[in-house]
């Protein structure tokens, strides 16, 4: 997401010439619009820290701002409870990510379900050309055996029009998506196919929620795990996060 790269985790002191509005919502929106006209702001609200406002972006990401909009911050906000530091930013972002992921229709995914009712599920942003994605896919039967449903969404790492993109389109447009995914992940030849498909939309969603590599695993509670995890460990994490 361009705003994430733009801020880079730094605090920005904006010039006094920025036109400020009468209330925090308007002032913060004015500042962010000046920085990036198409910034996908969903809501602005007071944060748990007095005097600090949190800006909810589409996809679940958060920014923080002063009430007058002159100071912005990207990073984690923690709250101390006893000897424990709670990451309030991660909690809020995970809820936003879960909302986005749960909004994807099952018909737009490639789903591998256990024979018995699933105990938990994971959503995996995948690229058929990715070695660790292929390794994770070889462990899907074990994940299913442990009660974990695996839901695939597309994330062509090299971008739209790449070999990975075309391969993912062929998977999504196959008559049997599961069989096509199995072949693609086994590096077997996959018949080229085309149709109306969600690959580009899912790629955009992945970028929006912070995916920058594959496999990227989203747990049931919206927590994002970057990279491969062995089936036994991943199943345990998924069951804890359902």
Q: For the segment 129-144, what is each residue's pLDDT rounded down to a tens digit?
A: 999 999 999 999 999 9
Angle at 75 between CA 100 and CA 70, to 5 degrees: 105
Q: Which of 29, 61, 127, 151 is catalytic?
A: 127
Residue 127 bears catalytic tag = yes
| Residues in the chain where the model's pLDDT stays below 50 | 1-2, 4-6, 8-21
Residue 130 bears catalytic tag = yes
pLDDT tens digits, 160-175: 999 999 999 999 999 9
Q: Which of 29, 61, 129, 130 is catalytic?
A: 130
Q: Which of 29, 61, 151, 157 is catalytic?
A: 157
Q: Which of 61, 133, 146, 151 is catalytic?
A: 133
Q: How many CA atoms lie within 13 A of 34 on its CB side?
A: 16
What structural domains does the chain harbor? 2-87 (3.10.450.70), 107-240 (3.40.30.10)
What pLDDT, on a 0 to 100 scale, did the predictor assign at position 22?
Answer: 55
What pLDDT, on a 0 to 100 scale, did the predictor assign at position 1?
Answer: 43
């Amino acid at each position: 997401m361009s705003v994430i790269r733009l801020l880079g985790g730094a605090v920005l002191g904006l010039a006094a010439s920025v036109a400020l509005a009468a209330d925090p919502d308007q002032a913060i929106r004015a500042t962010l619009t000046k920085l990036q006209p198409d910034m996908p702001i969903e809501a602005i609200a007071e944060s748990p820290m007095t005097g600090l406002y949190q800006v909810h972006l589409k996809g679940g990401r958060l920014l923080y701002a002063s009430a007058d909009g002159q100071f912005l911050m990207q990073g984690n906000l923690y709250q101390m409870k006893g000897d424990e530091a709670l990451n309030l930013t991660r909690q809020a972002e995970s809820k936003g990510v879960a909302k986005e992921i749960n909004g994807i229709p099952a018909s737009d995914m490639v789903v591998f379900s256990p024979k018995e009712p699933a105990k938990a599920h994971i959503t995996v942003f995948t690229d058929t050309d990715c070695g660790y994605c292929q390794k994770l896919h070889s462990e899907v039967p074990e994940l299913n055996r442990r009660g974990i449903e695996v839901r695939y969404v597309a994330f062509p790492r090299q971008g739209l029009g790449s070999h990975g993109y075309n391969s993912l389109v062929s998977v999504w447009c196959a008559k049997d998506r599961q069989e096509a995914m199995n072949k693609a992940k086994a590096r077997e030849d996959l018949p080229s196919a085309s149709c109306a498909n969600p690959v580009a939309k899912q790629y955009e969603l992945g970028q929006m929620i912070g995916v920058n590599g594959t496999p990227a695993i989203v747990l049931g509670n919206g927590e994002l795990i970057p990279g491969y995890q062995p089936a036994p460990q991943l199943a345990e994490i998924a069951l804890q996060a359902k």
